Structure 1
Amino acid sequence: MKTLKNFPYKHVLVVGLAKSGTAAAHLLLDSEINVRINDLKADKESEEVQKLIEKGAEVITGGHPLEALEGIELIVKNPGIPYENPLIAEAVKREVPVVTEVELAGRLHDGPLIAITGSNGKTTTTTLIHEIIKADDQPVSVAGNIGKVACEVARSTSDEEAMVVEMSSFQLLGTETFKPDVAVLLNLYEAHLDYHGTLEAYHNAKAKIIENQTSEDTFVYNADDEKIMSYLPGTKSKQVPFTLNQQGSGAWTDKEWIYFNEEAIMKKSEIVLVGEQNLQNILAALAVVKTIGISNEAIHQVLTTFAGVKHRLEYVQEKNGRFFYNDSKATNILATSYALRSFQQPIILLAGGLDRGNSFEGLAPYLSNVKAMIVFGETADLLKETGTSVGIKDIINVETMDKAVTEAYRLSNQNDVVLLSPACASWDQYRTFEERGNMFTEAVHKLK
């Protein structure tokens, strides 16, 4: 297992354990760095914490005392902890650097580093890139916001192995020297304003993915996104676009084929993934893998078989001529609008969840193909208002996912799509969007 070499900090505070903090603490301790850990709720007697103490970590629980900053040169922060946290705010005031564990991963990994960010489509694009490289029999690992802690994965990668990392704005904000060989910026929309404060701050956090790139590196970007285009003049890296609306450069498409530069790669009709959003994700992945020299055979193999990432416009099954899709990851209006535009058939939409104070008027233009709505959770009434405003007559408010699926099936006909795409976070009724999606899938399988 690799450790950090020539690391410039000797006294590090890890704030927040969970998966990322635990992995970072183990890496730092194994690298012979003095580690103090501060976690609000961690149990000092737990096996996980005891292992860290046995390695030499000092552990502070039950609060975030400012005394924890004494002698500290660097903070490695759990991405979810806001900068308004009094301990973090004081560290920033004292000019103590605050990073996330991906900063450690970047310092540790010596092979090709491919990093993907954007408001939507990160997991699908990351997975596609990983699967295509793997299909070409090249060494590759996947990490980051996709579920595997980057600094933990980086400890076992070889010098020849590519590491494909999905990155959130929370993670990117906590980077200093992080520099991907290939950076991908998929799109920029409004999200996470409760964390970043302003839209500009959120977008600038995303743009940190290209901040340290040089002329030896590559920036794969969405040429259809005006905000992303505004960052191009400040980039030093080689620019490779992907686009649905232009032709001739980078990854692009016409009515029949997808291309890289002037080379026709494959027919769109052969691609398994549905939807315009997924076509953008495919073109982004294509731009990356062609840039690093992956074969067309590997691209074709994956795109003709890859049916999607779980909970992201995931095809569940066909039942008596009805087609069920799980898009539980659609936690905002934008993601649900993409899902709705992915189908030509009539749709029964299952939507609702945590009320964050926003209206759903922005969803109205995309409901023209929706024949019925099943609404639930805190936003049920708001979604019903929006559906009623565009003339949808069948709108049913339910309490459980089982009931939602049963009612959706009752209202459906052959060739209809039953789509779970909530447009809301899940936390009013479920612990995670994954739990919500799994309950949908289970309910579909139970249908008679």
Structure 2
Amino acid sequence: MLEIKTYQNKKVLVLGLGMSGVNAARLLNKLGALVTVNDKQKFDDNKQAQALLADGIKVITGYHPVELLDENFEYMVKNPGIPYSNPMVQKAQSLGIPIITEPELAYQVSQSHWIATTGSNGKTTTTTLIGLMLNEAGHKAYDAGNIGIPASAVAQKAGKDDTVVAELSSFQLCGIKTLHPHIAVLTNIYEAHLDWHGDREHYVAAKMRITMNQTPDDYFIMNWDLPEMHELAKQSKAQIVPFSRKNIAGARSALIDGWLCFDGERIMKADAMQIPGTHNIENALAAIAAAKLSGVDNASIVAVLTRFTGVKHRIQYVTTINDRKFYNDSKATNVEAASVAINAFTQPIVLLAGGLDRHLSMDDLIPLVKAHVHAMVTFGETAELMNAVAEKAGIPYQQTENVKTAVPLAYAASKPGDIVLLSPAAASWDQFPNFEIRGDVFIDAVNALAESEE
């Protein structure tokens, strides 16, 4: 870790906790900053705030007092999920206080190489694959960021010859200043988080911040199957490395005659991969590009792709009950992600769907549901929208309270040979703190069902 003096004896406000806030606060404290943490959760129920207070860090909990910013703070480290419309953030902006997110702080103290991945879908799988490929080849790589491992914790232990493979969300990218990955990856861009960003233009701009500090000595890996990428590439100073499942002209990483190839060299047959779906071919092509640019040999790439069975909550196989295979795709928080999951299977599907209502249309699901799904179980704020999808697709559906109660209903509606798929097409925040907990509840319910069927 670099012992930077940027924050020494400087007043820094960490706004919002969670894993990123806790680790940022501790790192800043180690760097000699005068840290104040402000979190809206009440202190008695806030174990993270209690732990920081025990470390000697000042904590203010239960609300966000705007007047706190009158105390001459010189920096703010903002939880990525807190929007810039928040009154605390707006006041900090009006006072000219620099606002960053935790990955930026991590990068400032890091002495490692950085590979950074973003995109609407596929970024966690791609990040995981890159890290596995590098480690398989004998490099030392650490996954970090939005994947669930705070970058500020990783940056403190990763050495100068190591690689930080960071998944970065659009929320996190809005708060970077100097973060400069040698290799950046943009898996795709669809409509997502528009309630936070305001419109698609701002969302796309946030994603493109991943390349804003790159130079001609760096690489920017982009999905060439999406025409929008061809124009966005013009904004980057880095060397563009296109990947394409459709073998679009100019793609360096491509699917050619059923083979995963890089610069025309065959690496392995795509159908030898363990993870299902055409979307995972795209994720693999992006990861292969990053790995090859990092000097990884073909044998290491093949070893990873032939044994990797997927990331938890992302079309994750759970178990088989009486010839019905159950898959947990709780990470599918939008229509595009759910569409990818539905398209990943050739078998008939019983679909569990529903969640936070962001007032977005679900109509794009109708043709997919009609073609691949023979029954639906709906829940959450978007249950009525999902019911309408089922009605327009001409398939039966049942509405229930939540994921847990949906599992036995989905099983009852299934037939031998079916896929029972949780792919909500909506965020989890109407009923759960995050999609991980929603997925865990589904897994527990499936395992309980399996026990009862023995």
TM-score band, normalised by the shorter chain? over 0.9
Contact 1:11 1:73 in 2 (8 A): yes
Structure-2 residue corresponding to 1:319? 321
Q: Which runs of 5+ in 2 are unaligned?
A: none
**Aligned mates of 2:442, 2:153 — CA distance in 1:** 32
| 2:374 is aligned with 1:375 | no
Give the SS at the match of 1:231.
helix
Contact in 2 for aligned 1:211/1:235 (Cα 8 Å): yes
Partners of 1:330 and 1:424 within 8 A in 2: yes
Could you tell me how far apart the structure 1 residues matched to 2:199 and 2:176 are?
19
Q: 2:240 & 2:284 partners in 1: Cα distance? A: 18
1:38 aligns with 2:41: no
When residues 433 and 55 of structure 1 are mapped into structure 2, their CA distance, relative to the original with a 3 A threshold, is closer
User: What is the percent sequence identity of the aligned residues?
Assistant: 44
Q: What is the distance in 1 between the residues matched to 2:345 and 2:325? A: 11
Q: Distance in 2 between matches of 1:261 and 1:47?
A: 51
Name 1:175's counterpart in structure 2. 176
1:307 matches 2:309: yes
Q: Is the 8 A contact 2:2 2:111 kept in 1?
A: no
Count how many residue pairs are aligned between Structure 1 and Structure 2. Answer: 446
CA change 1:434–1:49 in 2 (3 A) is: closer
Note if 1:211 corresponds to 2:212: yes
- What displacement does 1:296 show? 1.0
Q: Which residue of 2 aligns with 1:264?
A: 266
Worse-matched range after superposition: 208-217 or 18-27 = 18-27
User: Helix, strand or coil: the match of 1:361?
Assistant: coil
When residues 86 and 402 of structure 1 are mapped into structure 2, their CA distance, relative to the original with a 3 A threshold, is closer
Measure, in 2, the Cα distance between the counterparts of 1:386 and 1:275: 23
CA distance in structure 2 between the partners assigned to 1:46 and 1:417 by the alignment? 40
Following the alignment from structure 2 to structure 1, what is the Cα–Cα distance between the partners of residues 285 and 113?
20
Question: Structure 2 length as normaliser, TM-score?
Answer: 0.93
- Three-state SS of the structure 1 residue aligned to 2:157 is coil
- Contact kept? 2:17, 2:48, Cα under 8 Å: no
Question: Residues 42 and 148 of structure 1: is their aligned pair in 2 closer, same or farther, counting only changes over 3 Å?
Answer: farther
What do the CA deviations read for 1:238-263 (whole angstroms, capped 9, x no partner)?
A: 11111112256311003421100110
In 2, the alpha carbon distance for the partners of 1:44 and 1:373 equals 41
Q: Where do 1:19-58 residues align within 5 Å?
A: 19-41=19-41, 43=43, 48-49=48-49, 52-53=52-53, 57-58=57-58
Contact 1:29 1:56 in 2 (8 A): no
- Within 2, Cα distance between the matches of 1:98 and 1:67? 15
Deviation at 1:80, TM superposition (A): 1.2
Cα contact 1:121–1:186 (8 A) shared by 2: yes
Report the residue type matching 2:85 in the other structure: E
Deviations 1:323-361 (Å, cap 9, x if unpaired)? Answer: 221111111111111111111111111111222222321
Q: Which residue of 2 aligns with 1:350?
A: 352
Shifted more, 16-25 versus 275-284: the winner is: 16-25
Cα 1:53/1:114, change in 2 over 3 Å: same
Comparing 409-418 with 5-14, greater Cα deviation is found at 5-14
Whole-Å separation in 2 of the counterparts to 1:178 and 1:274: 33
- 1:20-419 alignment, distance < 5 Å: 20-41=20-41, 43=43, 48-49=48-49, 52-53=52-53, 57-61=57-61, 62-245=63-246, 246=248, 249-367=251-369, 368-392=371-395, 394-419=396-421
Q: CA deviation at 1:34?
A: 2.5
1:35–1:56 contact (8 Å) kept in structure 2: no
Q: Tell me how large the CA RMSD over aligned residues is.
A: 2.1
Aligned partner of 1:427 in structure 2 is 429
Aligned to 2:4: 5
- Segments of 5+ residues of structure 1 without an aligned counterpart are none
> Does the 8 A contact of 1:249 with 1:262 survive in 2?
no
TM-score by length of structure 1 reads 0.94
CA distance in 2, matches of 1:197, 1:266: 42
Do 1:218 and 1:237's aligned partners in 2 also have CA atoms closer than 8 Å? yes
Structure 1 residues 143, 416: closer, same or farther in 2, change over 3 A?
Answer: same
Any idea what the Cα deviations from partners look like across 1:49-75, whole Å, max 9, x if unmatched? 466456664433343233434322221
- Change in 2 beyond 3 A, CA 1:427/1:291: same
Contact 2:64 2:88 in 1 (8 A): no
